[in-house]
Structure 1
Amino acid sequence: MITFILNNKTIKTPEHSGMTLLDFVRYHQRLTGTKIGCREGDCGACTLLVGELKNNTIEYQSITSCISPLGNAHGKHIVTIEGTNLKDKLTTQQEAMKANYATQCGFCTPGFVVALTGFALSNSNKNYSNAIDAISGNICRCTGYKAIEKAAHQVVEKLENQEENSFNWLIENEFIPEYFESIPKRLKDIEIKDLNQPKGKYVSGGTDLYVQQADHLADNNVHLIAEKDYLKGIKIENEICTIGTNATVSDLWNHTQLNSILPNLKKHLKLVSSEQIRNMASLGGNLVNASPIGDMTILFLALNSNITILNSEEKERSLALKNFYQGYKTYDLKNDELLKSIQFKLPTENSFFNFEKVCKRTHLDIASVNSAIHLSIENDKIFEAHVSIGGVAAIPKYLHETSAFLIGKPLASETIIEANQILQNEISPISDVRGTSDYKRLLGRQLFFAHFTTLFPKQFTLNDFVQHA
């Protein structure tokens, strides 16, 4: 039985674990404040909060419930817009939306309110930038976004007076209802057993599979792996970072040590989808999606990562990620195998890493072209180089020849211009809805140059390259 707390009610249901959480909430529980919009995780109208016990405290994150399997709610606290309501008065978030005229037709409003509630409950710094990140996955088509941003600012102003990050303070200041205080104990008291799962399609976060196959997954067996502990965690040991494939982008975002080693990591990750999707999507899922423009795949390729693969007999094998992809949406993985972890050597003080992406909008958009680079420099010479690029080939592309050419060369504009010529010979973009092949070649060139102008701004400007390119 799938067991969880939905708002203030304990749920035990035999429903199919592959159905979407959105459909269960609306059609089985009649909580229709959670809206159906795009069914692709794109609009945020179906945003819910998921609270999970970790080290005797409960952590909340926002998700889009239209692409989340019901079974992933097992053992957690699920909060809909109805579950955020106070008795006979508006919450601080609702009042802020009202005071700033931040709603018109109202269809998107529940999602915004839930996302702002998640922001209030989160451990992130309570500043305006983080508040805007929290609603980056919510779209409004009629109000005008500035009014909503003003509402977020009003929420931040009240949170700035927070004496401690506690349920008591949030309850007293009308951010959440009183029942939230009882949830940690109630979750501890629920006897949570592993779901008895049949063999079926492996599903972790579901953010890609449920966009494509939601109806199929709702009717057929799924094997949910998001809560498998052996696929979780981020470990740094002996200068090697090992990341479980169930880790999410948000796990990287919140990892203090990794952010100190890669100081621009949050800046790069901000280009990956929206907060709701970053909270859900597994890194392993991004790799096996095998999209030629997968953001995290491109990032891990440039870090020259290896992957560990586990089969049904618990035997492991290791493979360089750059050798994993064999063709469009095909890769070196057998039917009984799972990606277990991703490993890469940590950058040193002589290392430089950068990620670039061009897309039509900042959040929740796939790239026209994306690229990453990892260089190690000594005495103005490149002694290690790894370059990757997406959107210009049938697979997420590790640029073997370009990377090899850079090694041993001086860090100079002539080297970079010549390397671009090799890059252009390695890629084979096609014209599609994201741009013509010529446009993608131009983007490939510009992003490659942008790596160097970003990493070495005192040495290079874009004019150093373009006038000779």
Structure 2
Amino acid sequence: MQFILNDELIDDNTLPSDFTALRYLREKRGLTGTKEGCGSGDCGACTLLVGALEDGELRYSTLNSCITPIQSLAGKHIVSVEYLSKAGELHPAQQAMVTHHGSQCGFCTPGFVLSLAGLYENAQRAEQSIDREAVCDAISGNLCRCTGYRPIIDAGLSMSDMASSVEPFTELMSQNNQVKTQLESLQKEPKHSRNYLQPTDLEQLAQALKANPAATLIAGGTDLMLENTQRYRDFDTLIDVSCVAELKQLHVAETTLTIGASVTYSELEAFSKTQYPQMNALLSRIASRQIRNRGTIGGNVANASPIADLPPLLLAFDADIQLLKNDGSTRAVNIADFYLGYKQTQLAKDEMIASFDVSLDKLAQFHRFYKVSKRMEDDISSAMLAVRFAVDNGELTDVRLAFGGMAATPIRGRKAEAALTGKRINDEHALNQAIEALRSELTPMSDMRASAAYRLDMACNLIRKAWLELNGTDVVTFSGHAVSDSILSTGLEASTHA
């Protein structure tokens, strides 16, 4: 296993497969600027910047080192907070935090600084300005308990001014030719170690599975690694499928959008930004930027959590799931048949999800995705609705109402769908019938996030909201981080937003 840590080339094959990047930095390298807060990828105190070569360009992204196996970062450039300050000069992100008093106890500060540094580096490389929404997105996975976010946001917005008002800090990390050259050399080296395998195609994956039948598969590991950090489970051999080219496909064919199982949330988010803005808006509400940079679409579905956000989306589009056996054979299962019960799926022990196929015709129909949660980011749904309406000459010819967070599995409101199908799009009587039908068929659960009554009321209101949007009503909704200053200062407008 080889990677670059700050400005040092590391070659180490002595580590357990599940040894986290956080532990490696603190215990093996003495780099204690990276902090452990939650140990579950929720607080961002352990944030790292990681650079990888993509089409010859060096791009950096953030991740939670507490749930990232260090061996998964083979062939990459790992940047800890200690790397940012050189020869007594502060990085613009650090200087901005100092200038705007963005730190009190300081425990969370290294994570915030690296999240802001990543934003600064990527914005400068792309010659883009940094606005409030970009700053809030960058720090969406960083929690602060004492400073308050306003000075931190102010710091993020002033980074470019810091860089232009002082002697240039250093060349952008993405323009560091020495790092690029080293990473190009590392790409030619095998990433395998004795207990952590990183196949790059299906042939190598088949060989790895054959040689290690008891191995555990890992992709982003944002859920799997909690078994290690929270339940103290030790893994033996891990096979990392995140680099398998065939599982990374993301393309539009003649009739179908194909999404590979190892595509990350961030990759799908970038892909959908212009083509599928409603999908993009939902993805921006999932977890945090650090998690979206690691978590995969296949992992979200295979994990079979009843509050996962992507299964309702796929259910609304009647997506087909391509399953891949260890022997290379495949079979297709519709998303409606995939879930068998709580945490139970059609996946056999020798199978994995390879990809998802979504009809372009259905993607072209009216669709909306609504997520209700207590926080805008880094939070789990209290209720989730994915809706699709097919319309022909003002009549609803096909209706999908798919819910998450309502039952042991993602479910459809079939009686409500039937009440709307065949009706005019502006038939409010049909809408009311659908809502009554939904009340009779849904039996939501109660937990710490919401009561059953709240979930049912919210489900009914979200259907009405979708119907209003279908009929051209401009329904105000939060879909990002760009809230007005008046909301932040007085809260008077907050009640107008759903």
TM-score (norm 2): 0.85
User: Structure 1 177/243 Cα, relative in aligned 2: closer, same or farther at 3 Å?
Assistant: closer
What amino acid sits opposite 2:109 in the alignment?
A: T
d(CA) in 1 for partners of 2:112 and 2:20?
20
The aligned counterpart of 1:167 is: none
1:458 shift after superposition: 3.2
Indicate which of 250, 269, 279 corresponds to 1:265: 279
Question: Retained in 1: the 8 A contact 2:90–2:169?
Answer: no
d(CA) in 2 for partners of 1:3 and 1:313?
30
The aligned counterpart of 1:150 is: 154
d(CA) in 1 for partners of 2:49 and 2:172?
12
SS in 2 for 1:247: coil
d(CA) in 2 for partners of 1:459 and 1:233?
36
What amino acid sits opposite 1:18 in the alignment?
A: D
SS in 2 for 1:5: strand
Matched, 1:195 2:192: yes
User: Structure 1 445/187 Cα, relative in aligned 2: closer, same or farther at 3 Å?
Assistant: same
Question: Retained in 2: the 8 A contact 1:20–1:66?
Answer: yes
What amino acid sits opposite 2:22 in the alignment?
A: L
Indicate which of 240, 249, 253 corresponds to 1:233: 249
1:174 shift after superposition: 4.3
Residue correspondence of structure 1 range 65-464 to structure 2 within 5 A:
65-122=65-122, 125-128=128-131, 129-157=133-161, 172-174=168-170, 176=172, 180-190=176-186, 191-196=188-193, 197=197, 198=212, 199-214=214-229, 216=232, 218-255=234-271, 258-347=272-361, 351-411=365-425, 412-458=427-473
User: Structure 1 212/30 Cα, relative in aligned 2: closer, same or farther at 3 Å?
Assistant: same
1:216 shift after superposition: 4.5
d(CA) in 2 for partners of 1:86 and 1:177?
13
Query: Where in structure 2 are there 5+ consecutive unaligned residues?
Result: 198-211, 478-498
User: Structure 1 334/7 Cα, relative in aligned 2: closer, same or farther at 3 Å?
Assistant: same
d(CA) in 1 for partners of 2:173 and 2:366?
47
The aligned counterpart of 2:206 is: none
Residue correspondence of structure 1 range 46-65 to structure 2 within 5 A:
46-65=46-65
SS in 1 for 2:37: coil
Question: Retained in 1: the 8 A contact 2:287–2:378?
Answer: yes
User: Structure 1 303/22 Cα, relative in aligned 2: closer, same or farther at 3 Å?
Assistant: same
1:271 shift after superposition: 1.2
d(CA) in 2 for partners of 1:313 and 1:208?
26
SS in 2 for 1:132: helix
SS in 1 for 2:225: helix
What amino acid sits opposite 1:227 in the alignment?
A: C
User: Structure 1 234/460 Cα, relative in aligned 2: closer, same or farther at 3 Å?
Assistant: closer
Deviations 1:129-183 (A, max 9, x none): 1122011111111111111111011025568x89xxxxxxx99454756993421
d(CA) in 2 for partners of 1:347 and 1:99?
52
What amino acid sits opposite 1:290 in the alignment?
A: A
What amino acid sits opposite 2:379 in the alignment?
A: D
Equivalences, count: 451
User: Structure 1 390/339 Cα, relative in aligned 2: closer, same or farther at 3 Å?
Assistant: same
User: Structure 1 288/350 Cα, relative in aligned 2: closer, same or farther at 3 Å?
Assistant: closer
Decide which moves more: 97-106 or 6-15: 6-15
SS in 1 for 2:424: coil
Deviations 1:188-225 (A, max 9, x none): 11242041544422111011122243364544332221
d(CA) in 1 for partners of 2:175 and 2:219?
30
Deviations 1:326-358 (A, max 9, x none): 000101000110000011012569611111111
User: Structure 1 10/323 Cα, relative in aligned 2: closer, same or farther at 3 Å?
Assistant: same
1:299 shift after superposition: 1.6
Question: Retained in 1: the 8 A contact 2:34–2:110?
Answer: yes
The aligned counterpart of 2:491 is: none
SS in 2 for 1:326: strand
User: Structure 1 246/350 Cα, relative in aligned 2: closer, same or farther at 3 Å?
Assistant: closer
SS in 2 for 1:252: helix
1:265 shift after superposition: 3.0
1:119 shift after superposition: 0.8
The aligned counterpart of 1:166 is: none
User: Structure 1 407/260 Cα, relative in aligned 2: closer, same or farther at 3 Å?
Assistant: farther
1:237 shift after superposition: 0.6
SS in 2 for 1:374: strand
d(CA) in 1 for partners of 2:404 and 2:270?
26
User: Structure 1 349/40 Cα, relative in aligned 2: closer, same or farther at 3 Å?
Assistant: closer
What is the alpha-carbon root mean square deviation over aligned residues?
Answer: 2.5
Deviations 1:227-281 (A, max 9, x none): 11121020101131001110011111111xx433323333222211111111110
1:425 shift after superposition: 3.0
What amino acid sits opposite 2:33 in the alignment?
A: G
User: Structure 1 360/223 Cα, relative in aligned 2: closer, same or farther at 3 Å?
Assistant: same
User: Structure 1 96/382 Cα, relative in aligned 2: closer, same or farther at 3 Å?
Assistant: same
